[in-house]
């Protein structure tokens, strides 16, 4: 938006909303919305506490492991089914099913199979992220220009060379796009897992705050979580733009 002839930065309206939050909080309209200033003060008090750091550490651990498995399994599977028609026809329907299935419903199964702990949360995170990574890696391999493949072959590239020097790079923009969406889904997965298995990480913290009606603590943690999630997604979008500069001109 342009105001007085100057371009306002894209996210600047959030300041306006923060102001609105402060005003609504100051009026004491509802117990559930404390003033933003109070929340921020709480935030600085909370952020160094052992309880918060423990929750942060557990969440980061579950999230990073979950994403790691999703990437390490997802990309090769995607490339594989992109290259083999038989595997594609056998596996793709399941990928599509799990992509749109409400995966929350599977969390109780994970709970009874893998216990109320870290393992279930990691698997939940992986389940949220992996399908889109598979699908995008497959799409990336599928769209590789035929003449690029033929070029590699006509210049005598070995299959291994062709894979690492041509296929992987040609499919990279799509793969990264999939990883970006997968990571955003993983953030949601790790939180949903923790909410349902509420003895670990932020799940436990939320339980504590809501049982004791500590509203500003609650909002403080939410702000941290949302800010981290948003920063992560913007950072990945930036990386993707850096890499896919050549995607349009392939």
Q: Which is nearer to other proteins, 30 or 158 (CB)?
A: 30
Residue 238 sits in the site that holds other proteins (CB under 8 A): no
Near other proteins by CB under 8 A: residue from 57, 164, 213, 246: 213
192 lies in the binding site for other proteins (CB under 8 A): yes
| 202 binds other proteins per the rule CB under 8 A | yes
Binding to other proteins (CB under 8 A): which residues in 217-236?
Answer: 218, 221-222, 225-226, 229-230, 232-234
The answer to the question of residue 27 lying near other proteins (CB under 8 A) is no
Return the number of the residue (2 or 248) whose C-beta is nearest other proteins.
2
Q: Minimal distance in Å, beta carbon 209 to other proteins? A: 7
Question: Total residues at the site for other proteins (CB under 8 A)?
Answer: 57
DSSP code per residue over the chain: -EETTEEPPGGGHHHHHHHHHHHHHHHT--TT---HHHHHHHHHHHTTSHHHHHHHHHHHHHHHHHHHHHHHHHHHHHHHHHH-HHHHHHHHHHHHHHHHS-GGGGHHHHHHHH-SSHHHHHHHHHHHHHHHHHHHHHHHHHTS-HHHHHHHHHTT--HHHIIIIIIHHHHHHHHHHHHHHHHHHHHHHHHHHHHHSTTSHHHHHHHHHHHTT-HHHHHHHHHHHHHHHHHHHHHHHHHHHHHGGGTTT-
**Residue 91 interacting with other proteins (CB under 8 A):** yes
Query: Of the two residues 107 and 133, which places its CB atom closer to other proteins in the complex?
Result: 107
Residues that bind other proteins (CB under 8 A): 1-2, 8, 10-14, 16-17, 30, 32, 86, 89-91, 93-94, 97, 100-109, 111-113, 184, 187-188, 190-192, 195-196, 202, 206-207, 209-210, 213, 215, 218, 221-222, 225-226, 229-230, 232-234
């Amino acid at each position: 938006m342009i105001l007085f002839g100057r371009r306002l930065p894209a996210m600047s309206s959030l300041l306006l909303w923060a102001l609105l939050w402060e005003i609504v909080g100051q009026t004491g309209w509802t117990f559930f919305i404390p003033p933003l200033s109070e929340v921020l003060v709480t935030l600085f008090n909370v952020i160094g506490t052992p309880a918060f750091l423990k929750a942060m550490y557990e969440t980061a651990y579950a999230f990073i492991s979950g994403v790691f498995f999703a990437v390490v399994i997802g990309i090769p599977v995607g490339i594989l089914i992109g290259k083999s028609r038989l595997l594609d026809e056998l596996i793709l329907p399941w990928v599509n099913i799990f992509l749109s299935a409400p995966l929350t419903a599977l969390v109780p199964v994970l709970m009874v199979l893998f216990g109320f702990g870290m393992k279930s949360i990691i698997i939940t995170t992986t389940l949220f992220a992996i399908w889109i990574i598979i699908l995008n890696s497959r799409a990336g391999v599928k769209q590789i220009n035929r003449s690029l493949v033929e070029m590699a072959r006509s210049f005598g590239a070995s299959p291994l060379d062709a894979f690492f020097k041509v296929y992987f790079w040609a499919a990279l923009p799509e793969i990264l796009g999939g990883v970006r969406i997968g990571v955003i889904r993983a953030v949601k997965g790790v939180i949903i897992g923790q909410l349902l298995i509420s003895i670990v990480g932020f799940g436990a913290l939320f339980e504590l705050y809501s049982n004791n009606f500590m509203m500003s603590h609650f909002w403080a943690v939410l702000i941290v979580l949302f800010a981290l999630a948003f920063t992560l997604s913007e950072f990945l979008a930036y990386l993707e733009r850096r890499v896919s500069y050549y995607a349009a001109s392939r």
